[in-house]
């Protein structure tokens, strides 16, 4: 399957476009943002106008600049958490599924226990326990999503580990690590891809949740979730833009990842939900 073909998929193309806009925001924030995100740029609580396209907040900071810089925190936490959970969850899933036995029983039990918690509640609890910081938030979100990778990969590994080519690899005397990495991993890669893209959408919402209750960054650092929380006090005073734009961005980014995930699962031909 060529790269061009993947891009032709409408789901992936549109999802990727959305995500890439925010990635560009994060990478080129200094160029794109018209003002500083932490210093007052104009009068407070200005509605969107030509100078301030998304208005200003109660301290006169430009909302658009805060959104642009805020994408850094969101994307960083999400990238860290999904790579961490993907890495740990996949390794555990591969090993547990392949080796089986007591190890598999114990790991499955632990993972199912984690899975039994509502994800946001668990992430909040872990975040509080670790202390508020972007890295700790990323770890908390990673822990929450490890079981998803674990369960999906373990299931797929179990379904293929009795295939003839695995038996043959054993009979030819290949070491277990090599069998797992070279003969099993390539076959479960498609599962991994789907879980990965699906999880990123979830992770964004969880991250926003943590930010909303102030568990990621300290003010005045710009952050979508936290801005959403601060804007809440001014909505009744008519300053709708303080909540609308951060909320819209969170939704859009999650939607972008969801589109990619949908496209990937359509191409791979596996549906997980």
Partner 1 sequence: MSTVLIVKDLWVKYFTSSGVINAVSGVSFSLSRGEMLAVVGESGSGKSTLGYALLNMVPKPGRIVKGEILLDGVNILKLSEEELRKIRGSKISIVFQDPFTTLDPLRKIRDQFMEFLMEHGIDKNNALKIAREYIEAVGLTERVLDSYPHQLSGGQKQRVSIAMAISLNPSVVVADEPTTALDVVVQKQIMDLISDIKRRYSSSFILITHDLALALERADSVMVMYGGYVMEMANKNELAKNMAHPYTKALFESLPRIKQRTLPKYLTGYPPDLRNPPPGCIFHPRCPFASEKCRIMKPELVEISKGHFVACHFAR
Cβ 269 to partner 1 shortest distance, Å: 16
- 224-231 and 185-212 helices, crossing angle to 10°: 30
Q: Is 165 in the site for partner 1 (CB under 8 A)?
A: yes
Q: Is 43 in the site for partner 1 (CB under 8 A)?
A: no
Residue 190, C-beta contacts closer than 8 angstroms, at least 6 positions apart: 268, 270
Q: Is 172 in the site for partner 1 (CB under 8 A)?
A: yes
Cβ 211 to partner 1 shortest distance, Å: 41
Where residue 42 falls (left for φ over 0; alpha for ψ -120 to 50; beta otherwise) is: beta
Residue 64, C-beta contacts closer than 8 angstroms, at least 6 positions apart: 33, 34, 52, 53, 54, 245
Q: Are 194 and 268 in contact (CB under 8 A)?
A: yes
Q: Is 270 in the site for partner 1 (CB under 8 A)?
A: no
Question: Residue 83: which H helix or E strand, with range?
Answer: helix 63-99
Q: Is 31 in the site for partner 1 (CB under 8 A)?
A: no
**Between 169 and 228, CB nearer to partner 1:** 169
Task: Look at residue 62 and give its three-state secondary structure.
Answer: strand
Residues in 95-124 that interact with partner 1 by CB under 8 A: 100
Cβ 173 to partner 1 shortest distance, Å: 4
**Between 128 and 189, CB nearer to partner 1:** 189
Among 28, 112, 131, 163, binds partner 1 (CB under 8 A): 163
- Tokens linked to 230: 């601060």
Which residue ranges make up the site for partner 1 (CB under 8 A)?
100, 162-165, 167-175, 178, 182-183, 186-187
């Amino acid at each position: 399957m060529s790269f061009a073909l993947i891009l032709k998929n409408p789901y992936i193309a549109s999802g990727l476009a959305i995500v890439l806009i925010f990635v560009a925001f994060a990478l080129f924030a200094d160029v794109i943002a018209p003002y500083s995100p932490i210093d007052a740029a104009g009068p407070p609580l200005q509605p969107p106008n030509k100078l301030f396209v998304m208005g200003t907040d109660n301290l006169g900071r430009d909302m658009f600049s805060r959104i642009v810089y805020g994408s850094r925190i969101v994307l960083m936490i999400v990238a860290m958490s999904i790579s961490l959970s993907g890495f740990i969850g996949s390794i555990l899933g591969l090993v547990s599924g392949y080796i089986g036995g007591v190890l598999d029983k114990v790991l499955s039990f632990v993972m199912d226990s984690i899975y039994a918690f509502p994800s946001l509640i668990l992430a909040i609890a872990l975040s509080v326990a670790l202390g508020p910081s972007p890295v700790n938030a990323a770890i908390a979100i990673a822990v929450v999503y490890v079981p998803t990778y674990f369960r999906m990969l373990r299931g797929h590994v179990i379904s293929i580990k009795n295939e003839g080519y695995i038996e043959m690899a054993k009979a030819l005397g290949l070491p277990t690590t090599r069998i797992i990495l070279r003969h099993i991993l390539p076959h479960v890669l498609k599962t991994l891809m789907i879980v990965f893209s699906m999880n990123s959408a979830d992770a964004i919402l969880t991250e926003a949740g943590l930010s909303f209750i102030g568990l990621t960054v300290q003010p005045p650092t710009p952050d979508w979730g936290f801005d959403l929380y601060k804007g809440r006090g001014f909505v009744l005073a008519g300053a709708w833009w303080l909540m609308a734009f951060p909320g819209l961005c969170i939704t859009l980014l999650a939607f972008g990842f969801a589109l990619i995930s949908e496209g990937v699962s359509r191409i791979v031909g596996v549906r997980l939900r």
